[in-house]
Amino acid sequence: MGLKIVEDFDGNFTLDPAAKLELFKFLSNDSFLEQVAQNAECSQVEFTELLFQPVPYSPTTPKGMPAKFEKYYTSSDHVIINVPPNFMFKAKIFQPSRLCAVYRKVS
């Protein structure tokens, strides 16, 4: 069985403004920020309000993310996390089914 390579995947999405606001509250909650900072092995992080949908591997998206987010992947000043499914459920976000969030490490 061979691998199927996806040539093009549309990772664009739009969130309902109320759902987005609710999700941003969860992602910027102080206790969650502390948890992200601890896992990133830094003293503090701040939510950049940047979200993206993970995309399948392709020749143009080898990191599994839209190309414009790869600079955060390679940056030592940022950390990318999978948005916890319970946050998405509580914010009533069902499409897309997965999101990632970008945080900036604060010195």
Residue 92 lies in a domain: yes
Could you tell me the residue range of the domain that residue 51 belongs to? 17-106
Sheet holding 100-106, edge to edge: 44-52, 100-106, 78-82
Each of the 107 residues of the chain gets a pLDDT tens digit; together they read 665 555 555 557 789 999 999 999 999 999 999 999 999 999 999 999 999 999 887 787 888 898 899 999 999 999 999 999 999 999 999 999 999 999 999 97
DSSP 3-state of 7? coil
Q: Which two tokens stand for residue 7?
A: 């040539």
Residue 7 lies in a domain: no
Is residue 9 within 8 A of residue 61, CB to CB? The reply is yes
Number of domains in the chain: 1
Checking DSSP bridges between strand 44-52 and strand 78-82, what pairing results, if any? unpaired
Residue 44 lies in a domain: yes
